[in-house]
Amino acid sequence: MNADSIMPRDPNLKTLTAALAAPFEPKDVKFKPQMVKNNRCLAMAYIDARLIQDRLDEVLGVENWEDGYKILPDGSVMCRLKLKLGDRWITKTDVGSPSEQPDVGDRLKAAFSDALKRAAVKFGIGRYLYRLPAQWVNYDPVKKQIAEVPQLPAFAIPKPKATKPAVVPNVEPKKENAKEPAAGFVVVKPESQKVEQPKVEQPKSEAQKSPANLPANGQELHRRLREYDAKLASQKLCAAGALLAHVTQAGIKAGYTANMNDWTGPAIPLAVDAVKEFEQNMRQAKSEPRTAA
């Protein structure tokens, strides 16, 4: 086939498909144990079906997608997901399996959700989750749940949204011999339009930036946090993994990746401040007296 005969893709469609396939916020990605060995497990990432529905509403609008389902004889469910991309309606189908829950209704509900998620993957939604590296993390065999939040690589973190700069109104100063304003109008004097420039701090030396007892790199930071997380959990101040999750979210909000092992420089003291804030809040909540309802 001649390369010149291939029709170029509509840039608007490329934008739509890229928006559909964009990574979700790390806080919305959940993990479940796929394989368990003693107190370690292989964590598998997944997303909720409602998250997919929100993505379709946000990118396409509620009027531009449809889903239909058919229950198959073996109890599985087939989903027909239909999206309007540009001027065309595109349909993708896939089958979801029932869960192993004892209730028949819950098993069927899981099959519907699984079918929607599988059909959505064919449009790129959540497909990046299948490319995540395998991660073995701590597992609580008593509670039968993951005890450590897995770290996400950089490609699984959404790009920060650009913020619009604040607009300062351009008010003309009052000129000499100008006529007085009409009743009901206010003249803004030149002093009121002055915008105070932010102070620029001089860069600190390395000795000033971080005390000697701070972790030297992200790997050491992650190791120390795991140990301190376990200590706080043993004191019944928080659930296991809560401290790691809090610090990771603080780093993400500051523009760092969700993989704490890659953190360097200013990310280290930021993590220390997040730990102090977290522990203070937990101890304060524990010390507050409870009142009877």
Mean pLDDT of all residues belonging to the chain: 80
Q: What is the pLDDT of residues 175-203, one digit of tens each?
A: 555 455 544 444 444 444 445 555 545 44
Three-state secondary structure readout of 85-117:
ECCEEEEEEEEECCCCCCCHHHHHHHHHHHHHH
| Mean pLDDT across 112-129 | 96
Dump pLDDT digits (tens) for 49-103: 999 999 999 999 999 999 999 999 998 999 999 999 988 999 999 999 998 888 8
Segment 219-238 shows an average pLDDT of 86
CA distance 240 to 236: 9
Neighbours of 265 (CB within 10 A): 13
Element (H, E) at 13: helix 11-21
- pLDDT at residue 176 in the model: 52
**What pLDDT does 43 receive?**
92
pLDDT of residue 28 exceeding 70: yes
Of the candidates 120, 122, 117, 105, the one whose C-alpha atom is nearest the C-alpha of residue 71 is 105
pTM of the model: 0.53
3-state secondary structure 126-143: CHHHHHCCCEEEEEECCC
Q: How far apart are CA 36 and CA 167, in angstroms?
A: 55
pLDDT of residue 36: 93
Q: Which has the closest alpha carbon to 31: 104, 141, 137, 176?
A: 137
Highest mean pLDDT among 140-144, 238-242, 256-260: 140-144
* Domains located in the chain, CATH noted: 22-150 (3.30.390), 213-284 (no CATH)
The pLDDT tens digits for 269-289 are 888 998 998 888 888 877 765
Q: What is the mean pLDDT of residues 152-162?
A: 83
Distance, in Å, from the CA atom of 261 to the CA atom of 152, rounded to the nearest integer, reads: 10
